[in-house]
Structure 1
Amino acid sequence: MPDNRVVVYKGPGEVAVESIEYPKLELPTDVVTGLKIKQKAPHAAILKIVTTNICGSDQHMVRGRTTAPVGQTLGHEITGEVVETGDDVLFVNTGDICSVPFNIACGRCRMCNEGKTGVCLNVNPARPGAAYGYVDMGGWIGGQAEYVMVPYADFNLLRFPDREQAMEKILDLTMLSDIFPTGYHGAVTAGVTTGSSVYIAGAGPVGLAAAHAAQVLGAGAVVVGDMIPERLEQARSFGCETIDLRLDGTLPEMIEQLLGEPEVDAAVDAVGFEARGHGKEGDEAPATVLNSVMEVTRVGGGLGIPGLYVTGDPGAVDEGAKHGTLGVRIGLGWAKSHSFTTGQCPVKRYNRQLMNAILSGKAQIAKAVNATTIPLDEAPRGYRDFDGGASRKFVIDPHGMVAA
């Protein structure tokens, strides 16, 4: 068997590529012992990674802003070629190119049957829901690697219908594992529809994906706010209005200058718990975005919150925030009859439809997020550049399949 190489968290600000054991058709020990289920996984498949992406959620761990231990494997945005299947896999075959939802789901529990695959009850003993290569998510090996094991393969894998077509559009299709469905989920749950005005907080990859998703949904005006000029320029490159949050003035005033009124129909928080206060000298203030999106969303509007919030943040600015307790103006949201949707995106709810939008040319998500391919050995540099504010979505190509 070949070896496997994977990106590993080595401490705050540091990752490395290390060799580990080639994957087996077995479940992680944490899952087996915690849930008292069988370790052998004839329902699983092993994939040769075609593409795997660096995510902002990974950066939270690498910055030391979660309880991730040194040695945590990384990577939950996975697209791969099936190279081995268990005896109980019926509908996925070797050679298939598939997208892997970052949510690991059994397909058998109450939550999965209700379409809530982000909170599956049978894949993580610590809490509902699991993901590859992420802290407190069940001990599953990460997919920023050469190979990965995917459990419940018939349920979890989205097979692309034509291999040649898939490889031609692979930089778009690789976004189906997380950020395109996540951004779309943010826009959909905020109520974006034909002619809507929407404010997107954050022009990182998820924010840009949410902005493009809003366009796909028919929004009339998409406004993106951020503090990094390069990211704002990227948002403008595909037709978004932008707000530089370093400038003086309130957010309602800035929106009014663009739209003629100080409110929008819907808003998406694509920043999460490492938010900073507005203005040139804005310090970290984790409730800033939640409060600002309530301020600028009209009465009766919706807030989609795909930005990550955690229950454990050792680097938080105050004791409450270390445990996920933030100064959110819930009274404002209540008074305005806002609806709020939080939590992991249930990727399977959207990924097939978004795949069809990509294959038909209706969505160009790789262009929107500035997909940039790097080899596996350059993952540490990709993390550094991304952390420095680069307006790129780094796509790791461990086997050189994209270039070929």
Structure 2
Amino acid sequence: MAGNRAVVYKGAGRVAVESIAYPDLVLHDGPGVNPLNVGRKCEHGVILKVVSTNICGSDQHMVRGRTTAPEGLVLGHEITGEVIEVGRDVEFIKQGDLVSVPFNIACGRCRSCKEGDTHICLNVNPDRPGSAYGYVDMGGWVGGQSEYVMVPYADFQLLKFPDKDQALEKILDLTMLSDIFPTGYHGAVSAGVTTGSTVYVAGAGPVGLAAAHSAQLLGASVVIVGDLNPVRLEQARSFGCETVNLSEHDDLGEMIEQILGVPEVDCAIDCVGFEAHGHGKQHTEAPATVLNSIMEITRAGGRLGIPGLYVTGDPGAKDEDAKVGSLRIRIGLGWAKAHHFVTGQTPVMHYHRQLMNAILSGRAQIAKAVNATVVDLSDAPVGYSDFDKGVARKFVLDPHGLVRKAHPGSVYVKS
């Protein structure tokens, strides 16, 4: 039987690549696995040889020690792979298929799934609606930053690429379909972006860059990206965004007015989440900053897309309220301006097929927008460390060397 290496959380600030069990079609006990999920049989699932798996900002929250994630948790919810084994109940997905895996695990059978709300499936997480691979309090499904991984409910969830050779040519774009591209796109759609919209995106990390590119695809006339990191802002400018450096000025409305002539936008997207900082030269962590600032600069009647992650347990928060997800949000301002808010996980399956088609046609250039950069699975700790330092890259882990073979010019040169 083949071995299986994986990226494992080792405590605040630390990950390691370790040998773990080769997967089978059962959810076994382990770090973070809900006791009610132990022994769960998954003959509706498949085993994947992981072709690519990405480091996500949501993973970084755990690795920084800002969640209740247990040591030993196998990380990774952005997965693209080749099917090498199918369960007896799988009818349509076949061995050899190259597929994208939505990060939210969904059964396809509950009320939420039948209504298209695959991000809040009722049957995969005993604690609450919704689940994901390799993530804290999400049921304990083993993460995919590994060589091999088990994926349940294969016929319902998996997006099969129509041509394997073409898919490998486009793999740096297609690997973003498991999370980041649909998440950014969902943020833009939720914010009501359409032809001619003016859009503000808070955060120039990979999700923010994906949201900015998505806003362009949806027809925005101007996309403004705000961040504290000048390197990431430079990446946003590389594909046509306007930018504001929030470390140099604390009046966001004034900076927007310098670009648009008015201190407001039609639509705003929060791609930062609960580790947000305030604005200005002396900025410190202030988790409600982004939510309050986008209410201030979004026009009356506008919409706010909030794909940025907010949690119910943050042991590293500055105050007791924030430790349980309670923030000082100016809800009265949002009410007075009749804002529309959309929060929560992204229902990936609602978007991934059409975004795949946009990639395959050449319309979407998501790998370029987020600066997709390939590293070997063994170098995952370097990727986590450099990502945490604020590099303007989206790290793509390559467990079997297939991505590097197809795209040798995208390999990361370690500093």
What 5-or-longer segments of structure 2 have no aligned partner? 406-415
Structure 1 match to 2:411: none
Question: Separation in 2 of the partners of 1:253 and 1:243?
Answer: 10
Does the 8 Å contact 2:250/2:279 carry over to 1? no
Question: Separation in 2 of the partners of 1:154 and 1:242?
Answer: 42
Residue 40 of structure 1: how far off its partner (Å): 2.3
TM-score for the superposition, normalised by structure 1:
0.98
Does the 8 Å contact 1:316/1:322 carry over to 2? yes
Question: Separation in 1 of the partners of 2:21 and 2:366?
Answer: 34
Question: Separation in 1 of the partners of 2:261 and 2:270?
Answer: 22
Structure 2 match to 1:400: 401
Residue 34 of structure 1: how far off its partner (Å): 2.2
CA deviation vs aligned residue, 1:216-275 (integer Å, no higher than 9, x gap): 000000000001111000000000000000112510000000011100000000000000
Name the CA shift for 1:386/1:295 in 2 (closer, same or farther; >3 Å). Answer: same
Specify the SS of the correspondent of 2:310.
coil
Does the 8 Å contact 1:28/1:139 carry over to 2? no
Residue 72 of structure 1: how far off its partner (Å): 1.1
CA deviation vs aligned residue, 1:158-180 (integer Å, no higher than 9, x gap): 00000000000000000000000
Structure 2 match to 1:100: 101
Residue 3 of structure 1: how far off its partner (Å): 1.4
Query: Are residues 1:189 and 2:190 paired?
Result: yes
Question: Separation in 1 of the partners of 2:102 and 2:237?
Answer: 29
AA matched with 1:61: M
Question: Separation in 1 of the partners of 2:98 and 2:166?
Answer: 10
AA matched with 2:343: T
Query: Are residues 1:264 and 2:265 paired?
Result: yes
Structure 1 match to 2:36: 34
Structure 1 match to 2:413: none
Question: Separation in 2 of the partners of 1:152 and 1:248?
Answer: 49
Question: Separation in 2 of the partners of 1:107 and 1:248?
Answer: 47
Residue 26 of structure 1: how far off its partner (Å): 1.2
CA deviation vs aligned residue, 1:297-317 (integer Å, no higher than 9, x gap): 000000000000000000001
Does the 8 Å contact 2:174/2:356 carry over to 1? yes
Structure 2 match to 1:208: 209
Question: Separation in 2 of the partners of 1:152 and 1:354?
Answer: 22
Specify the SS of the correspondent of 2:167.
helix
Structure 1 match to 2:291: 290
Aligned residues: 403
Structure 2 match to 1:75: 76
Question: Separation in 2 of the partners of 1:300 and 1:153?
Answer: 41
Structure 2 match to 1:45: 46
User: Equivalent residues in 2 for 1:170-319 (5 A)?
Assistant: 170-319=171-320
Residue 280 of structure 1: how far off its partner (Å): 1.3
CA deviation vs aligned residue, 1:98-135 (integer Å, no higher than 9, x gap): 00000000000000001111110000101111100000
Does the 8 Å contact 1:31/1:125 carry over to 2? no
Specify the SS of the correspondent of 2:41.
coil
Query: Are residues 1:156 and 2:157 paired?
Result: yes
Question: Separation in 1 of the partners of 2:360 and 2:196?
Answer: 25
Question: Separation in 2 of the partners of 1:32 and 1:68?
Answer: 12
Does the 8 Å contact 1:46/1:84 carry over to 2? yes
Structure 1 match to 2:12: 12
Question: Separation in 2 of the partners of 1:225 and 1:40?
Answer: 46
CA deviation vs aligned residue, 1:29-86 (integer Å, no higher than 9, x gap): 58785269x7322100000000000000000000000000111110000000000001
CA deviation vs aligned residue, 1:279-307 (integer Å, no higher than 9, x gap): 11101000000000000000000000000
Question: Separation in 2 of the partners of 1:227 and 1:72?
Answer: 31
Specify the SS of the correspondent of 1:6.
strand
What 5-or-longer segments of structure 1 have no aligned partner? none
Residue 136 of structure 1: how far off its partner (Å): 0.3
AA matched with 1:11: G
User: Equivalent residues in 2 for 1:329-368 (5 A)?
Assistant: 329-368=330-369
Question: Separation in 1 of the partners of 2:37 and 2:59?
Answer: 26
Question: Separation in 1 of the partners of 2:333 and 2:37?
Answer: 41
Does the 8 Å contact 2:37/2:139 carry over to 1? no
Structure 1 match to 2:408: none
Does the 8 Å contact 1:277/1:288 carry over to 2? yes
Specify the SS of the correspondent of 1:402.
helix
Does the 8 Å contact 1:28/1:140 carry over to 2? no
Specify the SS of the correspondent of 1:246.
coil
AA matched with 2:36: G
Residue 336 of structure 1: how far off its partner (Å): 0.1
Does the 8 Å contact 1:230/1:391 carry over to 2? yes
Specify the SS of the correspondent of 2:402.
coil
Residue 28 of structure 1: how far off its partner (Å): 4.3
Question: Separation in 2 of the partners of 1:218 and 1:193?
Answer: 5
Does the 8 Å contact 1:32/1:39 carry over to 2? no
Does the 8 Å contact 2:34/2:139 carry over to 1? no
AA matched with 2:342: T
Does the 8 Å contact 1:265/1:301 carry over to 2? yes
AA matched with 1:234: Q
TM-score for the superposition, normalised by structure 2:
0.96
Structure 2 match to 1:23: 23
Name the CA shift for 1:217/1:386 in 2 (closer, same or farther; >3 Å). Answer: same
| Identity, % of aligned positions | 73
CA deviation vs aligned residue, 1:319-348 (integer Å, no higher than 9, x gap): 100000000000000000000000000000
